[in-house]
Structure 1
């Protein structure tokens, strides 16, 4: 059956929301099928010289072309979805470190993509002067109420202000000053 391996790729990526193991086997099978069909299409077109306009040859050629195009679209959809999930992981993790269990699921090219994407995002955050991965939603208020979960003692905030953060106390502070402490789990945002 044509496009079987390419369709399996799409089914595989749709079955989970996480990043599955890179399916090198089906990708190679789909690319091999594309190459074989392309060669067969060329042979059909070359062999039939003046008869190319006959309906049989036109429909035969169109079938080859459609299968090649479908294989290509399925493989590209699979790879594009994987890259989308890798980007989402970078934004949700907040750091540029790939855990070993995720690294073993990625191809070498995807690991390189993650590294380059992380570098670009980090460079942009430094240039802007703001870590965009900390809070992806724009804040509604400049100040937030937080509860101290871990004893921190006296802390100097980003704005230069000094505050004492004792366990189980609540404070009303600038979001930009405490966003990193919230993401570290030292403070809890009270809604």
Structure 2
């Protein structure tokens, strides 16, 4: 049934969120989903060709079938994008947390495109962090909840005027 393979991929993605390490890339599932989307598209194009490329508004059964095919294709694509986004987010976190990008155990679970992405993203981060040597960019992004906080000044910038005086 359409969407079953994409459902398996999403279940795998949910399990991936709970694991410490990134598991193997589900290449066979991804290829099966892409193949299913192509088959759905080819079938839809064949039906539309019989009606001159126009949506048959008079034949409601065919119009409904085309609509369902379209929804199946969109759902599969959304599932693929969600899976890819989850993995890229995990790769970004690995790069920010200074995980060794040349570690063979890490690289074995990634496909070649992910390996290239992780390597290039890590290089970009090294260049970016190099510009801000005095500032820890990997610190928490959550603002403090205390009313009074200590501020450590790295450079004297002179007198600064804020909106509150």
TM-score band by shorter chain is: 0.7 to 0.9
Kindly provide the CA deviation profile for residues 50-69 of structure 1, in whole angstroms up to 9, marking residues without a partner as x.
Answer: 88112111101101101100
Aligned with 1:121 (options 121, 125, 133): 125
Please say which structure displays the higher CA radius of gyration: 1
Report the alpha carbon displacement of residue 99 of structure 1 after superposing the two structures with TM: 2.3
* Structure 1 counterpart of 2:8: 8
Report the Cα distance in structure 1 between the residues aligned to 2:63 and 2:130, rounded to whole angstroms. 57
Gaps of 5+ in 1: 144-191
* Structure 1 counterpart of 2:49: 46
2:116 maps to 1:136: no
* Structure 2 counterpart of 1:27: 30
Report the Cα distance in structure 2 between the residues aligned to 1:43 and 1:128, rounded to whole angstroms. 57
Compared CA separation, residues 51 and 86, structure 1 to 2 (3 A): closer
- Cα root mean square deviation, aligned: 2.2
Matches within 5 A, 1:31-110: 31-49=34-52, 52-53=56-57, 54-92=59-97, 94-110=98-114
Aligned length: 141
* Structure that is richer in strand per residue: 1
Report the alpha carbon displacement of residue 98 of structure 1 after superposing the two structures with TM: 3.9
Compared CA separation, residues 122 and 51, structure 1 to 2 (3 A): closer
Compared CA separation, residues 24 and 56, structure 1 to 2 (3 A): same
- SS across alignment from 1:15: helix
Report the alpha carbon displacement of residue 126 of structure 1 after superposing the two structures with TM: 1.1
1:34–1:71 contact (8 Å) kept in structure 2: yes
Normalising by structure 1, we get a TM-score of 0.67
Runs of 4+ deviating beyond 4 Å: 137-143
Normalising by structure 2, we get a TM-score of 0.76
Relative contact order (C-alpha < 8 Å, sep 6+): which is higher?
2
Kindly provide the CA deviation profile for residues 15-57 of structure 1, in whole angstroms up to 9, marking residues without a partner as x.
Answer: 1323121000000000000011100000111113488112111
Report the Cα distance in structure 1 between the residues aligned to 2:55 and 2:100, rounded to whole angstroms. 59
1:96–1:118 contact (8 Å) kept in structure 2: no
